[in-house]
Structure 1
Amino acid sequence: MKLMKKIKYYENSIGIDEVGRGCLAGPVVAAAVVLPRNFEKFILKDSKKLSFNQRQEAFKKIRKDSVYALGVVSEFQIDKINILNATFQAMNKALKQIENFKKFKVFVDGPYSFDKSNKNIVPIVGGDAKMPSIMAASIVAKCFRDNYMMKISKNYPSYKWEKNFGYGTKEHLKKITKHGVCKHHRKSFSPIHNILSNNKI
């Protein structure tokens, strides 16, 4: 059933958040979520404060009961347009997949609107710890991205993405130094760029 036909069962706002902005490898992912009015909000927290298993369980519940969409921008596109523009592009992609999105108030984590032409967008600093719909979006985006990084890690086991998910941990940096850069690394990011320029991390 389409969202607008059962809108009375859902909140009149969309929450949006992104994950992977600071990673050295992999895409940036944004999620847009419309929660049902009676959603069990006690399962929601800032995704960074949940354990891996807690996030995955919350992800299953959100997928089952909510309306959601994902926006994914590749590492190649990040290098082409920069991470800020890529993040905004991912958020726009996610939002525009929600049916009749222009009828909803849109709450986004952070200090900036990703589309200044849309007056319904409300930036909320720390929103991933304040707004249930943003918390849900954070969980959806992180679980989707984590699962993706674990999947591609099977083809690139040297980098241990199933553990670091592409973030610039000490272990990941050591692996890059040892094994070099692969196609999933963001060439425009300083540590990777420095390696490619024969500089130290």
Structure 2
Amino acid sequence: MKPDFEFERAAMAQGYTRIAGVDEVGRGPLAGPVTAAAVILDPAHIPEGLNDSKKLTKKARERLYDEIMEVAEVSIAHATVEEIDGINILRASHLAMMRALEGLKTPADYVLVDGNMLPRDLVLPAQTIIKGDSRSQSISAASIMAKICRDCVMLSLAQQHPGYGWETNMGYGSKRHIEALQELGVTPHHRRSFKPIHKML
């Protein structure tokens, strides 16, 4: 399965002109923010090779990031560790999505959201698409933008807190990360509401 522009064209057939694909990255990690992107593609200039960011090499993601930035409208936003712990990871993911949509220079008039649940504060016409990052080019573009930006955040945090391997595990619960937690302890960037961290505290 490769993403195409059919969901977007269906929305255009209903009269919508500014269709944003929205996706988030970072629901599973033990540390760091959750990051979302909203992308409005130009139908006349869709980058070649768009796909779910997890299916692309780092080199391909970085190439597509640059191409998307050149031809599309992009907004990227985060929800913090404090917000994740305060309202839960699902609601924090939706908060990041809403912030990304609100950050677009010109508002979207229709939204394609990866997954099976719309953010409850979303008032725009919208639809959810399960595995949307593999089916909709707008959502796959959003998944790439969110992935690249969150990885940059984790690389920066890895320099501030060496030893946890965030530069390679991006905050996920890898063996090295768990061992470092036991040796070095919990940082302010760890999600205290997540079981492994909660148990340590």
Q: When the two structures are superposed, what TM-score results if normalisation uses the length of structure 1?
A: 0.87
List alignment gaps of at least 5 residues for structure 1. 1-10, 197-201
Shift of 1:36: 1.3
Q: What RMSD over aligned residues (CA atoms) do the two structures have, in Å?
A: 1.4
1:28 aligned to 34, 59, 74, which one?
Answer: 34
SS in 2 for 1:38: coil
Q: What do the CA deviations read for 1:28-76 (whole angstroms, capped 9, x no partner)?
A: 0000001111224432110000111211111111112110101211111
**Out of 176, 183, 186, which is 1:181 matched to?**
186
Alignment match, 2:156? 151
The 5-angstrom pairing of residues 35-184 of structure 1 reads 35-101=41-107, 104-115=109-120, 118-184=123-189
Structure 1 contact 115–121 (Cα < 8 Å) conserved: no
Residues 72, 117 of structure 1: alpha-carbon distance in 2 compared, 3 angstrom cutoff? closer
CA drift of 1:119 comes to: 4.7
| Aligned mates of 2:183, 2:129 — CA distance in 1 | 41
Counterpart residue number, 2:19: 13
User: CA-to-partner distance for each residue in 1:65-96, whole Å, 9 max, x for gaps?
Assistant: 11010121111111111111101110000011
> How many angstroms apart in 2 are the aligned matches of 1:151 and 1:51?
21
Q: What SS class does the counterpart of residue 75 from structure 2 fall into?
A: strand
For residues 84 and 155 of structure 2, what CA distance do their matches in structure 1 show? 20
Whether the 8 Å CA contact 2:47–2:68 is kept in 1: the answer is no
Contact 1:92 1:115 in 2 (8 A): no
Deviations 1:116-160 (A, max 9, x none): 652512110010000000000000000000011001111111111
Identical pairs, percent: 41
Q: Which 4+ runs in 1 deviate beyond 6 A?
A: none
Give the TM-score normalised by the residue count of structure 2.
0.87
SS of the counterpart of 1:184? Answer: coil
Partners of 2:25 and 2:143 within 8 A in 1: yes
Whether contact under 8 Å (1:107, 1:121) holds in the other structure is yes
Moved more, 126-135 or 65-74: 65-74
For residues 143 and 117 of structure 1, do their structure 2 counterparts lie closer, same or farther at Cα, with a shift above 3 Å needed?
closer
